[in-house]
Structure 1
Amino acid sequence: MSGWSRSAEPSWVRKSTGASSEGTATPSARMSGWSRSAKPSWVRRSTGASSEGTLGSSARMSGCSCSAKPSWVRRSTGASSEGTATPSARMSGWSRSAEPSWVRRSTGASSEGTATPSARMSGWSRSAEPSWVRRSTGASSEGTATPSARMSGWSCSAKPSWVRRSTGASSEGTLGLTSWGLW
């Protein structure tokens, strides 16, 4: 865990950059884009990036951090906002995931589920939840919530799916990516 330091204090994490502001003080109104984490965090000293959760980053999960908290995931960008608080109305485009998630700090992409992404599945994340798949693009929206009427062109898949985060393409089914090949 070289280059990481332990903080037992709650921290404020700037989601746009991953920078962490340690301490219990509340950021002022001018510190927009920060979110609250009451959990201890691991902070990478070289970059200031914060790894939320009680687990450290393993060598094989370089750049990824574990969060056992429910998270809100912005589907348009893949950015993850940890915490139990509900995003406000202004945070449109976010969806709810009650599962623990793995968040890749280098890109902000979120890997839903309890399974650890494997090295050979680079860029893919596991979702055991039912998913909504946009037929026109193949983009996948994980979660149990039904898309609203305005989300025309979405179809429901109750099966687990593998989602390629770089493109949003979804591979439905319980099997891996045998037919898709490896990237």
Structure 2
Amino acid sequence: MIDEWNTKIETIPERTLIGAVYVPPGKSPPLHLFSKYRNKPFFIFGDFNAKHSSWDCEINNNSGNQIASWLEQTGNSMILPNKSTSRRSNSIIDFGLTHDASGWITEVLDEDVPIGVFFLIFYFWFISIGYHCLWDRSSIYKSAKTYRPPWPPSLVFLAQQIVFRTFVSFQNWFYGLLMAERTAEKRRIEGPVTKA
């Protein structure tokens, strides 16, 4: 039985801006940055730590009130998950802001599912690449070198040697395994070798 997947992707001829954000608890969301994209197609996803009754939270917080007010003023909309995203309460704090939320289907994955780990790795890789590419346009891009000095050349060389040796030993092990399988296959086809 063959399963067939038909995927149709429609693209629009205009530029769409995609962003990610993390707003620490107790901090205000950077609405001044979001407002720059008011009349443009945009999607901003992230952990806003914003609670409001408009998106089925039990309580409102300052960040939630600000986002709800901003949405009302700008006419933008939200892409909301179908269940709580907070570990500490029954609240939705991870969501998306967009110019048009029609047609979106959302799902919250259980954190124990391995795809969640893959998503986090991809998310941070994607954000890192995005910030690196936009260093001249971002408000607070900082290189990792500002947080930790680079290794001295001697440690870099040592790390490279360890990685190289590990790769060579794995390569030798894999080659040995491959040759053993070929020899076993050859004996199976030709039969046992007899001495004359």
TM-score class, shorter-chain normalisation, is under 0.3
Structure holding more strand per residue: 1
Give 1 or 2 for the bigger CA radius of gyration: 2
TM-score by length of 1: 0.24
Structure holding more helix per residue: 2
TM-score by length of 2: 0.23
